[in-house]
Structure 1
Amino acid sequence: MRSFVPKYIVGGVTLVRDSEAPAPGRLLLLRQPPGRGWGLPAGLLRRGEAPIVGAARELAEESGITVDPRELTPAVPNAVVHAKGWVDMVFELSVPASTTVLEVDGAEVYEARFHPIDDLPRLTVATARLLAYYGIGPLVAPDDPTSMARPTAPARDE
C-alpha cells in the first residue's frame, strides 16, 4: 500500500449478524447523518490501536453492543484496500437480535436495526462496495456463487 499512497488511513468495521435469523440471515446496519443511506458499525482506528480493538470500540460507540475484542472473528478477506488511500479491517460477530439491546446517541447515529440480508434498505455507496466483498448486497451479481442474497436496488451515495 505504501508504494502507491505514502500515507493511508485504517478503519475497523464489524459485520454483525443476527444469530437467531434463518438463512440468509439479518445484518446490523446504522443510519447516520445525513441519513440518506444505511451503513455498518465502523470508524477510524486511533494511533497504535489494534484493528480488532478499534472495531470493538466503534461497535460499542455506535450501537451500544459491547464485546470483548476476542469475540470478534476476522472476516475473509480481513483487509479491504480502497484505491483512495484507506484500508478497512473487517471483523464478524453473531449476536441474538431478540436479546441484544441497541443504543444510539441520536447525533452520530440516528438508528440501528437488523435488516434481512435478502431485503436490505438503501445503502451508502461505501457500504454497498464493502458488502460486495462478502457476497452481500446490491453490487453482487445474481449468478455470483458467493452471493448471500438476491440483488436489491442499486446503492446511491449520500
Structure 2
Amino acid sequence: MTVKQQLRMAAYRTFYRLPARWKRRIVRTFQPTYTVGAVILVRDPEATRILLLRQPPGAGWNLPAGLMDRGERPVQTAARELAEETGIKVPLDRFRPANPNAVVHTRGQWIDMVFETEVEPSDTFEIDGAEVIEAAWHRLDGLPPLTVSTSQLLAHYGIGPYKDYPEVLTK
C-alpha cells in the first residue's frame, strides 16, 4: 500500500468517527451545491404547440420555470410558477414528470425538474410584468428564437433547433 493510500484510509477513518453534524458541514463545504428548479413543458391538447415566455432582457423565448422554495415539492413549484408567470392554474394531478424528469447542468450547477401538462390554448394571459414580457403559443414546427438553455433543454424531448445534435445531450 502506497503512502497516498494510507493517508486516504486514515482520513476516511477519521471522517467516519466524527459526529454527523460535523460530517455534513465538511461535505457541504467541499462538495458542489446545486440549485433546483422546476420547468414546465405546456402543450396544447393536440401536442402541436407549446407555451413559451419572453422574459427580461428579452433575448429569446423560454419555458415557464422557477426555483423551488424551501419545503416545496418540485411539482408544487411547477404549478406555482406556471400560475405566477401566466395566470394558468393547473391542478397538481395534471402535471406528469417528463422523461427525463431531472436534467442536471453540471457547468451551471443547477437541476431542472421537468414536468409536462396540457391546457386549452388561450391568447389571454395574466402575466407577471416584473418577470415576463410576453407569453404566447408557438407551433413546434415554427419556434421563435429560443434562449440557448431552453434550446438545450428542449433537445432532451426531441423539440427545437438542437434536437438532432446528440452532443447537446451529453453536456
TM-score normalized with structure 2 length: 0.75
1:64-121 CA distance string (max 9 Å, x none): 11112221011000000111211100000101104x7421122210110010011100
Letter in 2 for 1:82: H
- SS of 2:82's partner is helix
Gaps of 5+ in 1: 145-158
Q: Point out which structure has higher relative CO (alpha carbons under 8 A, 6+ apart).
A: 1
Task: Provide runs of 4+ in structure 1 moved above 4 Å.
Answer: none
* Aligned counterpart for 1:111 among listed residues 127, 134, 148: 134
> 1:69 and 1:101, CA in 2 relative to 1: closer, same or farther beyond 3 A?
farther
- Secondary structure at the aligned position of 1:103 is classed as coil
Task: Give yes or no for the alignment of 1:6 onto 2:32.
Answer: yes
Give the Cα–Cα distance (whole angstroms) in 2 for the partners of residues 14 and 69 of structure 1: 12
* Aligned alpha-carbon RMSD (Å): 1.9
Q: Find the partner of 2:41 among 15, 36, 54.
A: 15
Q: Unmatched 5+ residue regions in structure 2? A: 1-27, 167-171
1:29 to 40, 45, 52: 52
Equivalent of residue 117 in structure 2, options 84, 88, 93: 93
State the alpha-carbon separation in 2 of the partners of residues 76 and 28 from structure 1.
18
Per residue, is there more helix in 1 or in 2?
Answer: 2
Tell me what 2:75 maps to: 52
Identity fraction in percent? 61
One-letter code aligned to 1:107 = A
Once the two structures are TM-superposed, the CA of residue 5 in structure 1 deviates from its matched residue by 4.6
Question: SS of the residue aligned with 1:118?
Answer: coil
